[in-house]
């Protein structure tokens, strides 16, 4: 009987996002990380769209799709 290969475990690597917010004139808005709140994190686009359609998010809330891979 051949030696069984060790099952590989999949590791999840963190995602780091560098963002810049601009006003309607295109000028950068000074923000600090303390000024930013992460409201939710979704892996499923349908769940995200349901949340966006529910209209219970504060004004100015937005999402950013981050492609991993």
Record the tokens describing residue 50, joined without a space: 């349901």
H/E segment holding residue 47: helix 45-53
Q: Give the model confidence (pLDDT) of 19-64 as tens digits.
A: 888 889 999 999 888 888 888 888 888 988 898 898 888 888 888 8
Is-above-0.85 flag for pTM? no
**pLDDT (tens digit, 9 = 90+) per residue, 5-15?**
777 777 767 77
The label of the residue with tokens 């891979």 reads: 69
- At 22, list the tokens: 């601009």
| Sign of the CA dihedral with 51 first, then 54, 55, and 57 last | negative
Question: What is the rounded CA–CA span in Å between residue 41 and residue 52?
Answer: 12
């Amino acid at each position: 009987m051949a030696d069984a290969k060790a099952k590989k475990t999949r590791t999840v690597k963190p995602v780091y996002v560098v963002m810049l917010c601009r006003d309607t004139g295109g000028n950068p808005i000074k923000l600090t990380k303390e000024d930013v709140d992460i409201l939710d994190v979704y892996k499923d686009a349908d769940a995200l769209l349901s949340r966006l359609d529910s209209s219970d998010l504060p004004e100015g809330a937005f999402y950013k799709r981050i492609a991993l891979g």
